[in-house]
Structure 1
Amino acid sequence: MKHKDFGERLQVSQSAKQAMVAKFRQRPGPDDPAVSERRAARAAVSAAREVRLAERDAKRLAEEANLAMAREAHAADQAAQERRAAAEKEESDARHEMERKAARDARYAARKARK
């Protein structure tokens, strides 16, 4: 092992601190063209992402609206079909009732004719 004295250790520590400060000072400032270029690139990517998200949301809303309209149309068709079925049943019941009354009247008339 090397035995370094206190002065050498202080000097190594000081040179390490100076190296860190030099490295920090070498970083480009906020007005550096490379930094502004990267910032602009990030902003462009972010704007494109926002546009894609807005398009996706608009597409989703349009699909939901189409689905809702299809559901409403189906419900309207089903309601119309139910109304037609109810009207046909009512008509059939009325016709059946008239036939039943006609048969009863015929039986009544036949009974009167026998007397």
Structure 2
Amino acid sequence: MGHARNNELTDRRSAAADAKASLLTAYRAAKKAAEPLQSTRQAERISLVEAREARRAERERLQNEERSRVETLAAQEQAAIEAVAAAEVEARESAENARISRVVEDEAARKAERDRRYAARKARQA
């Protein structure tokens, strides 16, 4: 827009107001034209957020499943370790009891042999 030399203040103010009004109408027209695009963008954003939430929920579900699987395995391993330890203790006790019973049997056999010899000696003397 060229500068006119004889512009009065009112002319300049009205020209500025007209420029503002034309900018405002252009803005409103552009906003109306972009409204369908904005609603589709909003729908796309909503679908992206929903997909992100679904992926996050799936990730959490998989993590929980993995954690429970690991805990189950750890519990099974602990139970197996405890079973082996209990079996070792029982085997040790069984071996100890067998050894004690052998010692008692040997002692009884030794005493029986001693009593037999004693009885044989008394029979020879009588």
Shorter-chain-normalised TM-score: which range? 0.7 to 0.9
**What TM-score, normalized by structure 2, do the two folds share?**
0.71
Report the CA distance between 1:14 and its aligned residue.
2.2
Select the structure of larger CA radius of gyration.
Answer: 2
Alignment match, 1:72: 68
Q: Is residue 94 from structure 1 mapped to residue 90 from structure 2 by the alignment?
A: yes
Q: For the residues of structure 1 that align with 2:20 and 2:84, how far apart are their CA atoms?
A: 89
Segments of 4+ moved more than 4 angstroms: 29-32
**What TM-score, normalized by structure 1, do the two folds share?**
0.77
One-letter amino acid of the counterpart of residue 25, structure 2: P
Secondary structure (helix, strand or coil) at the match of 2:88 reads helix
Q: For the residues of structure 2 that align with 1:71 and 1:61, how far apart are their CA atoms?
A: 15
Q: Is residue 110 from structure 1 mapped to residue 102 from structure 2 by the alignment?
A: no
- Unmatched runs of 5 consecutive residues or more in structure 1: 1-7
Q: Is residue 19 from structure 1 mapped to residue 15 from structure 2 by the alignment?
A: yes
**Structure with larger RCO (C-alpha < 8 A, sep 6+):** 1
The number of equivalent residue pairs is: 105
Alignment match, 1:47: 43
Aligned with 1:37 (options 17, 25, 33): 33
Q: For the residues of structure 2 that align with 1:29 and 1:15, how far apart are their CA atoms?
A: 22
Alignment match, 1:28: 25
Alignment match, 1:84: 80
Identity of aligned residues (%): 15
| Aligned Cα root-mean-square deviation (Å) | 2.3
Report the CA distance between 1:46 and its aligned residue.
2.0
Deviations 1:24-70 (A, max 9, x none): 322327984x4322122122212211211111111011101111111
Alignment match, 2:114: none
